[in-house]
Structure 1
Amino acid sequence: MARFARCAALVATALLMAGCSGSSGDDDKSGDGSGPSASKPTVTTPGLPASLTSQKLDWNRCKATATGPAPGGEWRCATLRTPVDWAKPAGETMGLALIRSESSGSSGERVGSLLFNFGGPGGSGVDYLPPYGPTFAKLHERYDLVSWDPRGVAASEGVRCRGDKEIEAAEAVDTTPDTAAEQSTYLKDAVDFGKGCRKSAGKLMEHVSTTDTARDMDLMRHVLGDERLHYFGISYGTELGGVYAHLFPGRVGRLVLDAVVDPSAGMVGHAKNQAKGFQRALEDYLKAAGQNPEEGSRKIVDLLERIDAEPLPTSSGRVLTQQLALTGIVYPLYSKSSWPALTSALEAAQSGDGTELLVQADGYNDRDPSGRYGTTTHSQRVISCLDDKERPTAEEAKRLLPEFRKISPVFGESMGWDTAGWCHDWPVPGQFENPEVSAPGAEPILVVGNTGDPATPYEGARKMADELGKGVGVHLTWKGEGHGAYGSGSDCVDDTVDEYLLDGKVPDDNKVCAS
């Protein structure tokens, strides 16, 4: 049932593998845009009690998480208190798990804190940042590297909507129903999932929106002692960064948005974008493999139809369903380095063995060999269904299917049905049609688009740059493959981003990196 959209945190992104509008009345346009230094006062957050604005973070050795051992070395963890309900800032609070590694350079060279969000929504920054450390070594010389588990995620009161056995059982649900009985089962499973989320999250389910998290980020900025927010957002993290810029344009420091979500799209628009992006990436893969894209796509469609009729056996004793096969195809498309694994898995599946595609699907679904599943998709669904106001019915989804099939013969059917199933009969109403990211008066924000990005198609970067506003959104293009550009092998991209973050050098708008 996991939607592919905005799900970078679930997958090994390129970095590792080589509704949110609101009042902008909170912004403060003080400061000169040069970045914080130890001698400058921080911009305060008005309206918050001193118990929040004056809190001191207690940085200690990190503890092991459910997904792995505690990071060692220079990494330290702390808890930030933030309001559960931002409409009642003096009311009940909750804890957000933070992780930090202090700048490795001299104190005089330090720019400030650099916050990271790796996508999802639902990705654990506490888990994901330490493995990225080598990728950000140059930035680390002048920045404290900081990330966090957003509200409703992992160590920050993370949501778990169903148990491992229930998740595995749901893998048998047909997500492209062909009969009335299959449709009924599909929608019932969606309702059951939502009920499980409500039971787990309780009233927090109404307070995990992107806007809530953007406000958490501003409190985080203040408590960390920074005048302005310096930020690196990937995939969904770009949407979060855009919403922050809209709410607090005067507090924007140096923001990089990489693998950009289209801010003009609602639920159906995101699904169409995803279908287009994955089909484009698949065709690039087929061309590189020496195949005709149209013929190669048709062979894969035929394979998926056979699997739909009769799931494939695997060496584990589990079976490969159509949805798992689709997921197993999607996962290697996130990085060009994984294309050979996709070739091997497809060849095995064509011969009747679903083992390799199941391994790929398990990687995407965060399933370990013992059968335990991660909860990123749970948090993702809770957050996105609170953000997204659009709620297409099953009949509306059926009417959309021809258009989805035209966009992508391989992924269109699944993505079309997903518009009805993802937030079907959700316990909490959605808040927005699409996120508001306009940020008049903000400092220039670097928006990086990759022409071959499967999960957040290239066109979204141009739309984000345009919606941020003239003189704010600065568009950088990389002619590459995979999800995300920075750290993916392009010296041009890496140098441009580094110069912007380290020295404040803003590149020309529409700069193109061909390698």
Structure 2
Amino acid sequence: MKKAIGTVLLSAVVLAGCGTAARPAQEPGTVAWSACTDLIGPDGKPAPPAPGTECGKLQVPLDHARPDGEKIDLALIRVKATGDRLGSLVFNFGGPGASGVDTLAQAARMFGTLGTRYDLVSFDPRGVERSSGVKCGGQIAKLLAASTEADGDRLAGEFAAACRQDSGKLLPHVGTVNTAKDLDLLRAALGDRKLNYFGLSYGTHLGAVYATRFPGNVGRFVLDSAFDPTVTWEQRAVTQAEGFSHAFQAFAKDCVAQSCELGADPAAVEKAVLGLLDGLRDKPLKVGDRELTYGLGQLGVITPLYAKATWQVLEQAAAAAIKGNGTALLMLADAYTGRRADGTYATTMTSLQAINCADTTERPTAADVAKVSDRVEKIFPVLSFEGSGAPCAHWPVPGDDAAKRIDATGSGPIVVIGGRGDPATPYRWATRLTDQLRTGVLVTYEGEGHGAYLTGNACVMRTVDAYVLEGKVPAKSTACAG
């Protein structure tokens, strides 16, 4: 889960599953597949599609309570199976707010073994990017730059008002329950009797909600880096501060072991990074015609902590910034916030805020945010969110707690993966989600990073591949060394 504004947060075969497949809420639509023309690469620039990649659209109701009413388009992407096809495998890569279209285009090769037998499919969920992405009048850039609590709360109010003005009709309908209903319409449109699904981070929440709503339609489900939807906003913020603190300490130790530019011991590394950020409070670094501010510096440090493979990037970017060159750290922050090469923003952060506010009745005030920020700062100062404001307190539509109820009784086995060293979705959330599902089977990854399958760990990949390709459910207490 990504760091939200004011909080931390944050994809015709015998299938593993039982029960009779439920009919979709309406007759299945159709997808007209064609060449992809508007993909965006990890550098924020237009990117060409890989061979075998197609894009399409599926119409779904704006309001699922009115299936014959106004429609919106879901943007889809498909990478066709390279071997004997078993069906489709649908991905959600997290956020909430991440573009599944762009992410699958970039990451499909990482799921190459699964792609030998499945069409790899993903989508921009409703309210995200090409699927009626939530627009907020360009206010997100101002909110990200807030530096004081007063500024943050004022800008949060302006941000929420701009979201209402630009996307007010959509905002009541962007929650995870509605996206789960879209997912079932997608399953039907793909021609699959049951849904085969791979969710990462927030994608595990979407998968769990789907399995709760449509247990008979659950095929082979993998929920990697699991989220516990029952935690409160404050619990989530504090727990993730603990997780990122652990990840930073692991990074510092690893950095020192390999002759670290930032210091001779872990304490010195931490002091150097915190000193860099403190300096940005009063004196942002000039980067061309932009500035690396305190808030953007925080995001630049947090982003590479998600994966051990990018720890060296953090060392190099922080060391350069300490010497006065903030280019690399600002690029890391831009990757997190969805800033494109042309200076515009994807809907990543606006969609995230809209979905988060839709999925809860909690409305923390600016005072609540300040109090929790103080708690977080004591645990891991890099994650303090002073000045972030409280957009949900100003949100123009009420939230709903329906997505917090998880019970997949009646579904086939659902593989849940939790990482001991996951900074964003701690291991205990995986154990709790496994219990809530009733049909969950827990796999433990003993290593570092967010997204166990994406680490390339041979044991995790072997376990998941055997389940998705052959239906071999992991044994209870399966664990993979880091």
| Residue identity matched to 2:277 | L
Q: What letter corresponds to residue 152 of structure 1 in structure 2?
A: G
Quick one: distance in 2 between partners of 1:342 and 1:188?
Answer: 32
Deviation at 1:76, TM superposition (A): 2.0
2:23 to 28, 35, 44: 44
Deviates more, 1:357-366 or 1:249-258: 357-366
Percent same amino acid at aligned positions?
42
Match of residue 255 from structure 1: 221
The verdict on how the C-alpha distance between 1:323 and 1:479 changes in structure 2, with shifts beyond 3 A counting, is same
Residue number among 73, 77, 81 corresponding to 2:51 in the alignment = 73
1:388 aligns with 2:360: yes
- Number of residue pairs the alignment of both structures matches: 467
SS at match of 1:283: helix
Task: Name the CA distance, whole Å, in 2 between partners of 1:318 and 1:151.
Answer: 32
8 A Cα contact 1:205 1:382, kept in partner: yes
Q: Secondary structure at the match of 1:263?
A: coil
1:94 and 1:361 mapped to 2: Cα distance? 31
**1:313 and 1:76 mapped to 2: Cα distance?**
41
Q: Structure 1 residue 434: deviation in Å?
A: 6.1
In structure 2, runs of 5+ residues without a counterpart are 257-263
Question: Are the counterparts in 2 of residues 264 and 434 from structure 1 also a CA contact under 8 Å?
Answer: no
> Residue deviations 1:107-127, cap 9 Å, x none?
xxx332110111111112222
1:440 aligns with 2:409: yes
Please identify runs of 4+ aligned residues in structure 1 that moved more than 6 A: none
Partner of 1:303: 276
Partner of 1:238: helix, strand, or coil?
Answer: helix
Corresponding residue number in structure 2 for 1:335: 307
Question: Which shifted more, 496-505 or 345-354?
Answer: 345-354
Paired with 2:91 and 2:217, the residues of 1 have a C-alpha distance of 16
C-alpha displacement of 1:402: 4.0
2:163 alignment counterpart: 197
CA contact (8 A) 2:89 2:121 kept: yes
| Higher deviation after alignment, 61-70 or 362-371 | 61-70
CA apart distance, 1:509: 2.2
Among 246, 261, 281, the alignment partner of 1:280 is 246
Moved more, 444-453 or 70-79: 70-79
Answer with 258-267 or 318-327: which moved more. Answer: 258-267
Q: TM-score, normalised on structure 2? A: 0.90
RMSD across aligned positions (CA): 2.6
Which SS does the other structure have where 1:289 is aligned? helix
> Residue 37 of structure 2 corresponds to which residue in structure 1?
63
Give the distance between the partners of 2:304 and 2:276, measured in 1 at CA.
Answer: 17
Alignment of 1:72-471 (within 5 A): 72-106=50-84, 110-163=85-138, 167-174=140-147, 177=148, 183-290=149-256, 292-294=265-267, 296-314=269-287, 316-411=288-383, 413-414=384-385, 418=388, 421-432=390-401, 435-469=404-438
8 Å contact from structure 2 (residues 419, 452) kept in 1 = yes
| Alpha-carbon distance in 2 for matches of 1:86, 1:119 | 23
1:80 & 1:373 partners in 2: Cα distance?
24
Tell me, in whole angstroms, the C-alpha distance in 2 between the residues paired with 1:200 and 1:499.
Answer: 46
Supply the AA of the counterpart residue of 1:218: D
User: Following TM superposition, by how much is the alpha carbon of 1:299 offset from its aligned partner in structure 2, in angstroms?
Assistant: 4.1
Deviation at 1:61, TM superposition (A): 2.0
Deviations 1:437-466 (A, max 9, x none): 221121111111122222222221111111
Distance (Å, rounded) in 2 between the aligned partners of 1:306 and 1:56? 55
DSSP 3-state at the match of 2:113: helix
Q: Deviations over 1:261-316 (max 9, x none)?
A: 122213222222221221111111011122654554344333322221222333x1
Q: Name the residue aligned to 2:259.
A: none
* Matched-pair contact (CA < 8 Å) for 1:5–1:456: no
Note closer, same or farther for the CA distance 1:282–1:90 as it changes in structure 2 (3 Å cut). same
Unaligned runs of 5+ in 1: 10-30, 178-182
CA distance, structure 2, for counterparts of residue 192 and residue 251 of structure 1: 42
SS of the residue 2:77 aligns to:
strand
The 1-side partners of 2:142 and 2:72 are apart by 33
Query: 3-state DSSP class of the match of 2:381?
Result: coil
Superposition TM-score, scaled by structure 1 size: 0.84
Cα deviation 1:350-405 (Å, max 9, x = unaligned): 33443332222122222234322222111111111111221111223333344323
**Any conservation in 2 of the 1:397–1:417 contact (CA below 8 Å)?**
no
